[in-house]
Amino acid sequence: MDMIIAAFAEVLSPVALCMNLMGVMIGMIIGALPGLGSVVAISICLPFTFGMQPLQAMALLLGVYCGSNCGGSIAAVLINTPGTPQAAATSIDGYPMARMGKGGEAIGWALASSIFGGLFSCVILVFAAPTVASFALHFGPLETFGLILMGLTCISSVSGKNQLKGLIAGILGLLLACVGMSPFTPDARLTFGLYALDGGMDTVAIIVGVFAISEVIDRSERIFHEKASSVLSIRSLRMPPLGMYRERMWNLVKSSIIGTIVGILPGTGATTAAFVAYGEAQRSSPRRDKFGTGEPDSIIAAESANNAVTGGALVPSLALGIPGDPVTAIMLATFILHGITPGVRLMVDNPGVVYGIFVALAVANVLMWPCCHATTKIFNYLLKTPEPILMGLIAVLCVLGSYGARGNVNDVAVTVGAGVFAYMLRRCGFPMPPIVIGLVLGQQFEMSIGQMILYKGDMPWLDYILNSPIATGLFIVTAFIVCVPMIRRLLAARTGEAARQGQQNS
Amino acid sequence: MGLSAVLYAQTTGSAGPVFVDDIDPMQYPRALILLLGAMGALLAGKGFLARAERTDMPLFTRHTLGVMAVLILYAAFFITLGFFITSVLACLGIALIMGYRRLPLLAGASVLSVVLIWLMYVYILRIPLPSGSLF
Q: How confident is residue B53, by pLDDT bands cut at 50, 70 and 90?
A: low
Chain B residues whose CB is inside 8 A of the A208 CB are: none
CB A285 within 8 A of CB A95: no
Is residue B105 located within the same domain as residue B125?
yes
pLDDT at A374 over 70: yes
The one-letter amino acid at A16: A
Please name the amino acid found at residue A358. Answer: F
Q: Give, for A181, the enclosing helix (H) or strand (E).
A: strand A180-181
Query: Which DSSP category does A82 fall into?
Result: -
Least confident stretch, A60-69, A438-447, B68-77:
A438-447
Cβ–Cβ < 8 Å for A399, A34? no
Rounded to a whole number of angstroms, the distance between the first and last alpha carbons of chain A is 72
Q: Which residues of B touch A225 (CB under 8 A)?
A: 56-57
Share of chain B above pLDDT 70, in %: 81
A391–B95: do the CB atoms touch at under 8 Å? yes
Please name the member of A216, A223, A404 whose beta carbon is closest to the beta carbon of B121: A404
Q: In this prediction, what percent of chain A has a pLDDT beyond 70?
A: 88
pLDDT greater than 90 at residue B52: no
Of the listed ranges A270-284, A301-315, A317-331, B116-130, the one predicted with least confidence: A317-331
If one compares A5 and B20, the residue with the highest pLDDT of the two is A5
Determine the Cα–Cα distance for residues A328 and A316; give it in Å rounded to an integer. Answer: 9
Query: Are the C-beta atoms of residues B61 and A229 closer than 8 Å to each other?
Result: no
One-letter amino acid for residue A70 of the chain: C
Chain A residues in contact with B95 by the CB 8 A cut-off are 386, 388-389, 391-392
Residue-level pLDDT at B89:
93
Residues in CB range of A354: below 8 A, 6 or more apart = A318, A346, A347
Cβ of residue A36 closer than 8 Å to a chain B Cβ: yes
Chain A: nearest CA to B108, how far in angstroms?
A: 11
Looking at per-residue pLDDT, the higher value among B98 and A236 belongs to: B98
Do B63 and B114 lie in one domain? The reply is yes
Q: Specify whether B42 is located in the same domain as B66.
A: no
Q: Among A224-228, A381-385, A470-474, whose mean pLDDT is lowest?
A: A224-228
Our count of domains for chain B comes to: 2
Any B CB within 8 A of A213 CB: yes
Residue A204 pLDDT greater than 60, yes or no: yes
**B13 DSSP 8-state letter:** T
* Closest CB to A450 among B23, B26, B35: B23
Q: Which chain A residues have a beta carbon less than 8 Å from that of B92?
A: 392
Mean pLDDT of chain B: 81
B75 & B132 share domain? yes
Other CB atoms closer than 10 Å to residue A66's CB: what's the count? 33
One domain for residues B66 and B12: no
- Shared domain for B6 and B35, answered yes or no, is yes
Same domain, B120 and B86: yes
Closest by Cβ to A392, choosing from B25, B90, B127: B90
For residue A180, the SS3 value is strand
Higher-confidence position of A4 and A428? A428
Question: With an 8 Å Cβ cutoff, are B95 and A395 in contact?
Answer: no
In terms of Cα–Cα distance, which of B75, B104, B110 is closest to B89? B110
- With beta carbons less than 8 A apart as the criterion, state whether A53 and A20 touch: no
- Where in the sequence is the domain holding B66, given as residue range(s)? 59-135
Q: How far away is chain A from the Cα of B135, in angstroms, using its nearest Cα?
A: 19
Q: Rounded to an integer, what distance in angstroms lies between the CA atom of residue A300 and that of residue A245? A: 10
**Tell me, what DSSP letter sits at residue A289?**
G
Do B71 and B101 have their domain in common? Answer: yes
Which residue, among B1, B14, B23, would best test binding to A if mutated, counting the most A CBs under 10 Å from its CB? B23
Cα dihedral A343/A345/A350/A351 (nearest 10): 100
Position B69 confidence tier, pLDDT thresholds 50, 70, 90: very high
Secondary structure string (H, E, C) spanning A378-417: HHHHHHCCCHHHHHHHHHHHHHHHHHHHHCCHHHHHHHHH
Beta bridge partners of A189: A180
Comparing CA positions, the residue from A139, A144, A146, A145 lying closest to residue A480 is A146
Is some CB atom of chain A closer than 8 A to the CB atom of B21?
yes
Cβ atoms < 10 Å from Cβ of A208: 31
Cβ–Cβ below 8 Å for B63 and A182: no
Chain A: nearest CA to B41, how far in angstroms? Answer: 11
Which range has the top average pLDDT, A276-290, A455-469, B15-29, B58-72? B58-72
Facing B72 at nearest CB: one of A40, A388, A416: A416
What is chain A's length? 506
Arithmetic mean of pLDDT, A40-59: 78
Query: Are residues B131 and B84 part of one domain?
Result: yes
Q: Is the pLDDT of residue A191 over 50?
A: yes
Q: B126 and B91: one domain?
A: yes
* Cβ neighbours for B41, distance < 8 A, ≥ 6 positions apart: B1
B67 in contact with chain A, both atoms CB, cutoff 8 A? yes
Going by C-alpha positions, the residue among A58, A3, A5, A49 that lies closest to residue A332 is A58
Measured distance CA(A125)–CA(A46) in Å, rounded: 23
Q: Does A404 touch chain B (CB under 8 A)?
A: yes
What is the reported pLDDT for B71? 94
| Confidence class for position A351, pLDDT limits 50, 70, 90 | confident
DSSP E strand stretches across A126-256:
180-181, 188-189
Euclidean distance between CA atoms B7 and B51, whole angstroms: 30
User: How many angstroms separate the CA atoms of A134 and A54, rounded?
Assistant: 26
The length of chain B is: 135
Asked if the model's pLDDT at residue A422 lies above 70, the reply is yes
d(CA A49, CA A28): 18
Nearest-angstrom CA–CA distance, A307 and A309: 5
Mean pLDDT lowest among A96-110, A143-157, B29-43: A143-157
A143 vs A348: CA distance, rounded Å:
31
In angstroms and rounded to an integer, the radius of gyration of the C-alpha atoms of chain A is 23
pLDDT the model gives residue A229: 47
From the list A56, A433, A31, the residue with the least C-alpha distance to A207 is: A433
How many whole angstroms separate alpha carbon A401 and alpha carbon B63? 24
Residue A388 one-letter amino acid: P
The answer, yes or no, to whether residue A420 has pLDDT greater than 90, is yes
Neighbours of A56 (CB within 10 A): 23
Question: How many of the other CB atoms lie within 10 Å of CB of A409?
Answer: 16
Label residue B29 exposed, middle or buried (CB < 10 Å: 0-12, 13-18, 19+).
Answer: buried
Q: Are residues B95 and B133 in the same domain?
A: yes
Q: Is A505 exposed, middle or buried (0-12, 13-18, 19+ CB in 10 A)?
A: exposed
CA distances from A376 to A32, A36, A86 (A): 10, 17, 19
CB of A51 less than 8 A from some CB of B: no
Residue B98 and residue A178: Cβ atoms within 8 Å? no
* Chain A residues with beta carbon closer than 8 angstroms to that of B107: none
Report pLDDT digits (tens) over B1-47.
Answer: 777 777 777 767 655 555 555 667 788 888 888 888 888 888 888 77
Closest chain A residue to B43, measured at CA: A164
* C-alpha triplet A102, A436, A265: angle, nearest 5°: 100
Please state, as a whole number, how many other Cβ atoms lie within 10 Å of the Cβ of residue A192.
Answer: 11
Q: What is the pLDDT of residue A417?
A: 92
Q: Which helix (H) or strand (E) holds A188?
A: strand A188-189
Prediction ipTM score: 0.86
* Lowest-pLDDT choice from A309-313, A438-442, A484-488, B34-38: A484-488
With cut-offs at 50, 70 and 90, classify the pLDDT of residue A76: confident
**Residues B39, B82: one domain?**
no
